[in-house]
Amino acid sequence: MLATPTIPPDPRDQVIYLVMPDRYADGDPTNNAHVNRQDPHAYHGGDLRGLTKQLDQIKDLGVTTIWITPVNDNQNGPLAGKYWGYHGYWMQDFEKLDEHMGSEADMHAFVDGAHARGLKVILDVVVNHAGYDAPIVKQKPEWFHHNGSIVDWNDAYQCENFDLVGLPDFASENKDVLAFMIKGWGSWITRFGLDGFREDTVRHAPMAFWHDFNAKMHATSRTPFFTVGEVSYHDPRKIAPYLRDAGLDSAFDFPMFETLNRVCAKGESMTKLAARFAEDKAYTDARMLSPFLDNHDEVRFATTAKGDERKIRLGLAALLTMRGIPSLTWGTEVGLQGGADPENRHDMPFGQNPALRAYTKQLLGLRREHAAFRRGWQATLYADDQVIAYRRQAPGSHAVVVLNNADHAVTRHIPNPGARWVDALDGTRYGRSLDVTLAPYQARVLLPR
Ligand SMILES: [Ca+2]
Ligand SMILES: [Ca+2]
């Protein structure tokens, strides 16, 4: 039995953990058709049973919500004789589970196992396009645009009405298409009791579609339902309208992704992070965004940081103490490296770098214990080229975070601390005058003492 919650669920208490099941853990070799682990474009054999066996380890890390990339029946043969649909984004069928993932019983066991541990599950959904060979494309030609592929990515009309890299583009303005998506994706909620959706390629379908689709999905779930969208703009002013009008609870924070890579991995001025925080006023509530260091479409943060563990730790500290609902990619907690797609989709290296995993777990523990990190408002206290300090504060909970991206030790006076402090990571104690010394690439997370 689940405990009765004493407070209403708040999405800001969540930490998302992105898993591509094919690349996580293989729990059933009987479904390993077309598996070739030496080929980054082929299936690697991971499945729902394997993921279920890892639930204790995922819970132990301290994340709270598992985002799985799509598990629908996908295109059966390889594209151009080479590229397989291991990632799940080439829908053959919008309701059926893919045979590589396991059985419906396996999906129930995964979701129920997550729920039994207090973990939530959000499924990646695709509404913009079908797989290259999906039967629906021939059955309902009038449900698709036939405009060819997007050429000009700055043309909003093309982005919504042309094909994404040749994938058949649904005529999302057609009400029969809306009904088809509501039926197909809604069945995943009613069959499995999912807690939310991660919504793919949001900027490629019209706002009105999203508004109606998400209203229906929220109404379909019998429990609080969370929608987070891939609105892949790097300008907050272009993301904010989707948070207001598309029925999204959250959107991935692509602008912050870019900035975190620039300042924490590449050593660019920390004033860029302060400037990014200053743009939060573009949003109704920036705490509802989902910042991230990397994902399955981007170069791994550890690679951008050239494997320097000090920079990886700096990035993790920033991500897990700033405003928002952070999203971690499988393996980021153990320093998994990889370049552009598909090199960013390596198999989960269980057991790699336990010290970095322990550091990630420590930060996630602080987040769980202190409401300031989850729900607090945020204000920048200090910023220069190497150092930024920001405050997080919620009722009864207060923290100051200081980050140094210099390759040398620095000392800074941080104004307005308002308390006496202790660094929760290494125990260093401070009085009311906050003169902070940081080692190269060090993060300090200060709590009142
Ligand atoms: Ca398998
Ligand atoms: Ca479209």
Percentage of residues in the chain having pLDDT higher than 90 = 96
pLDDT (average), residues 299-312? 98
pLDDT of residue 419: 85
pLDDT (average), residues 291-314? 98
pLDDT of residue 288: 97
Looking at 7-16, 60-69, 106-115, 290-299, which range is the least confident one? 7-16
How many A from CA of 144 to the centre of ligand 2? 9
The residues, any chain, with a CB within 8 Å of residue 167's CB and separated by 6 or more, are 90, 128, 129, 130, 131, 132
Neighbours of 139 (CB within 10 A): 8
pLDDT above 50 (res 260): yes
pLDDT of residue 7: 55
Average pLDDT, the chain: 96
pLDDT tier at 416, thresholds 50, 70, 90:
confident
The residues, any chain, with a CB within 8 Å of residue 407's CB and separated by 6 or more, are 267, 440, 441
Considering only CA atoms, give the Rg of the chain.
Answer: 22
Q: Are strands 196-199 and 120-125 parallel, antiparallel or unpaired?
A: parallel
pLDDT (average), residues 37-45? 98
How many A from CA of 145 to the centre of ligand 2? 8
How many A from CA of 162 to the centre of ligand 2? 6
Percentage of residues in the chain having pLDDT higher than 70 = 98
pLDDT of residue 1: 43
Ligand number with the minimum distance to the CA of 130: 2
Ligand number with the minimum distance to the CA of 162: 2
Please give the distance of CA 146 from its chain centroid, rounded to a whole number: 32
pLDDT above 80 (res 2): no
CA distances 403 to 230, 274, 316, 406, 441, Å, are 28, 12, 11, 9, 7
pLDDT above 60 (res 4): no
How many A from CA of 139 to the centre of ligand 2? 19
pLDDT of residue 301: 98
pLDDT (average), residues 212-240? 97
pLDDT of residue 9: 77
pTM higher than 0.75: yes
Work out the angle between the directed axes of helices 236-245 and 207-220 (0-180°, nearest 10). 50
pLDDT above 70 (res 236): yes
What domains are there in the chain, each with its CATH number?
A: 11-375 (3.20.20.80), 381-448 (2.60.40.1180)
How many A from CA of 344 to the centre of ligand 2? 26
pLDDT tier at 287, thresholds 50, 70, 90:
very high
Ligand number with the minimum distance to the CA of 167: 2
How many A from CA of 74 to the centre of ligand 1? 15
pLDDT tens figures, 361-392: 999 999 999 999 999 999 999 999 999 999 99
How many A from CA of 2 to the centre of ligand 2? 40
pLDDT above 90 (res 275): yes
pLDDT above 80 (res 114): yes
How many A from CA of 236 to the centre of ligand 2? 22
pLDDT (average), residues 138-144? 98
pLDDT of residue 5: 44
Neighbours of 186 (CB within 10 A): 17
How many A from CA of 50 to the centre of ligand 1? 8
CA angle in degrees (0–180, nearest 5) for 113-114-118: 120
Ligand number with the minimum distance to the CA of 51: 1
